[in-house]
Every structure is written in C-alpha cells, then in structure tokens.
Amino acid sequence: MIIFLTTNQHRYTHTELVGIDGLDVRVVGYPTITEPKRLPVATYIFTDLDRVPFWRLREIAEMYRLLRERGCRVLNDPARALSRFGLLRTLNRAGVNGFDAYRVDELERPRKWPVFLRLEGDHKAPVSDLLNNRKDLDRAIDAAIEAGNPRSAMLIIEYAAEPVGKGLFRKLSVFKMGDRMVGANCVHDDQWLVKYGKPGIATPAMYDEEYDLIDNNPYGEAMARVFDLANVDYGRVDFGLVGGKPQIYEINSNPDLKLSPKPSPAPRRNESIVLFKAKYFEALRALDTPSPRRKPQPGGGQPQGAA
C-alpha cells in the first residue's frame, strides 16, 4: 500500500493512481495525529509541504516520526525539506545555480537583472513581469501588495532562462522516487515562463531529444544531488539549460502527474509519454509496502499491470 498525504484541495494530483491494477494507492488529506497507531502499515509519501502552514507542518513532522518509529516507510521529512527560497539560496551557494533568490523582507538588492516576483509556496504564475531595475522592482512590490499578495511570502528571483530555438523555451523535469530517478516529459513554450506549454510548438528533433531524456536520463545524477540538498525523497524537479548547465527552478513534492494526456500529433511524443508511464510505475512499485490482504502474484514477482 502507498498513501500519498497532501492538502485536501490538491488531492487531484495523484488520483490517477487510485484503482490501478496491482497497486493499492490512496490519496488522502492530512489527518490529525491524535490516533496515529490506527493508520495502516504502508509507504507514506508526505507532499505539498510548501503549502502547509508552519503550525500544521510541525504536527505533520511529528506524524512522520511516529510512522517511522512503527517501521513504516516514510518519504519527505516535513521538518527537513527546504522551502522554495531555501532551495534556491542553497543551490546558489552550492554553485549549482548561477542565479539567486531573495526575500523581499531581506531588503537586499539583487546582484543580477532582470528579476521577477513570485510567492513562496505558490505554484501559479509569478506576480510580476521581468523587472530590469530597482525602480521597477519597487513599483512591482507595491503593486503586488496592493493586489493582496503578502509581503512576507514574496520572493525576488533572478532571471535564468535560455531559448532552445528561435522564440522557443523548454522546461525539463526529473522525478525522484525513493532511490530511483526517472526522467519526465518536457514542456515547450514560446515565452520564458514555461508552465503548461503549447501543443505542436516543438520540432520533431526536440521530441527525439525528449525520448532520449526519458530513456537515458542523462541529468539523473546531477538532479539526485539537488534532491539530496533539498532533503526531498519524492517529487519532481523542474529545470532549464543555460549555457548547457542545468539551472534549477523548483522541486514540486506534489506534481500533477497527468499520466494520460490527450494524444499528440507527434508520434514520438506519444512514445515518450508511454515510456515515462512505464518507468514511473516501475519506480512506484519499488516504493510499495505490501498490503496485509494483497494476494501474492504468480511466481512471487512484482505486481503487474497499468504500465
């Protein structure tokens, strides 16, 4: 059994896994810790930690430790996982990222321009466009606060992106699932902020590259170090290449899987989706804790199905 623990409003991200043949996956909102001994023996994956208020985060961290003491397999220690700001600052100091991030409350002047504003723990778009000087930054901060964005949660992030073709940007991703690293599908867009992407914008050669990224995962080792620095055992790291070097944007502990997107007009992209699903499910099965009532599979092997 694998239990994904998440905030109630973001349970949708892993619901595709529920009911998959050969796996017992459950996605539940964070419960209280009043009766942790009644929770079943399973693999517990703590997600959405950046969206949890600090007072609840401490309760969740206590739950993590109680489950670990019971012998359960637990991933993503809520007390150790870095915040978005903590991750970006750590990666910059470690020489992984060439760009830095600042809390608005630090009152520190960025060393590189342009910059943009976004909120800690928010996975929506930034709250500003690219800003090229201090005057524009101050105005953007005032406008963001006036719109209701809390100053205490606001980050200044130095821009770090590079097009892979004329007017074309790409976001790469790698999953960490316990001890395994799984290359994921890319996202392509015609703007620097690559989030959802635009269908059909990539070239056939780019889709061939995407297949290779999933098949061979050439950045897996480098991303494993990033996850270690972040103290994250399960999640998806998003990054881009600048000057051929990976630049890390974030780690999402509760990524929206979207394992069954609409078919692409590019056959190679569809092959990449199938390949990622197979590798993801293989890694997921390696995390599984057998359910007490699960029937053994023929031949004693791993459960089959749904890859």
Instruction: Look at strands 43-46 and 25-29 and give their pairing.
Output: unpaired
- Give the pLDDT score at 38: 79
Of the pLDDT bands very low, low, confident and very high (cuts 50, 70, 90), residue 303 is: very low
Q: Which residue has the higher pLDDT, 272 or 39?
A: 272
- Give the pLDDT score at 299: 37
Rounded-to-10 torsion of CA 292, 295, 300, 303: -90
**Residue range 116-135, pLDDT digits in tens:** 999 998 888 899 999 999 99
- The CA angle 172-234-267, to the nearest 5 degrees, is 40
- Give the pLDDT score at 294: 53
Residue 169 corresponds to which tokens in the numbers above? 């940007």
Q: Where are the domains of the chain?
A: 2-81, 100-158, 169-287
Residue 287 has pLDDT above 80, yes or no: yes
Of the pLDDT bands very low, low, confident and very high (cuts 50, 70, 90), residue 302 is: very low
- Cα separation, 80 vs 43, in Å, equals 18
Instruction: Look at strands 43-46 and 101-103 and give their pairing.
Output: unpaired
Over the chain, what is the mean pLDDT?
Answer: 90
Neighbours of 84 (CB within 10 A): 23
- Give the pLDDT score at 301: 35
- Cα separation, 282 vs 180, in Å, equals 10
Of the pLDDT bands very low, low, confident and very high (cuts 50, 70, 90), residue 281 is: very high
- Give the pLDDT score at 55: 86
Element (H, E) at 272: helix 267-287
- Give the pLDDT score at 305: 28
Residue 138 corresponds to which tokens in the numbers above? 């101050």
Neighbours of 299 (CB within 10 A): 6
- Give the pLDDT score at 33: 63
**Residue range 52-92, pLDDT digits in tens:** 988 889 999 999 999 999 999 999 999 999 999 999 999 99
**Residue range 27-41, pLDDT digits in tens:** 999 876 666 677 889
- Give the pLDDT score at 34: 61
Does the domain at residues 169-287 carry the CATH identifier 3.30.470?
Answer: yes
Residue 304 has pLDDT above 70, yes or no: no
User: Are the C-beta atoms of 115 and 159 separated by less than 8 Å?
Assistant: yes
User: Are the C-beta atoms of 266 and 200 separated by less than 8 Å?
Assistant: yes
What percent of the chain stands above pLDDT 70?
Answer: 93
Write down the pTM of the prediction: 0.91
- Give the pLDDT score at 32: 67
**Residue range 184-218, pLDDT digits in tens:** 999 999 999 898 888 888 999 999 999 999 999 99
- Cα separation, 197 vs 207, in Å, equals 14
Residue 173 has pLDDT above 90, yes or no: yes
Q: Domain spanning 100-158 has what CATH number?
A: 3.30.1490
Nearest-10 crossing angle of helices 84-93, 220-230: 120
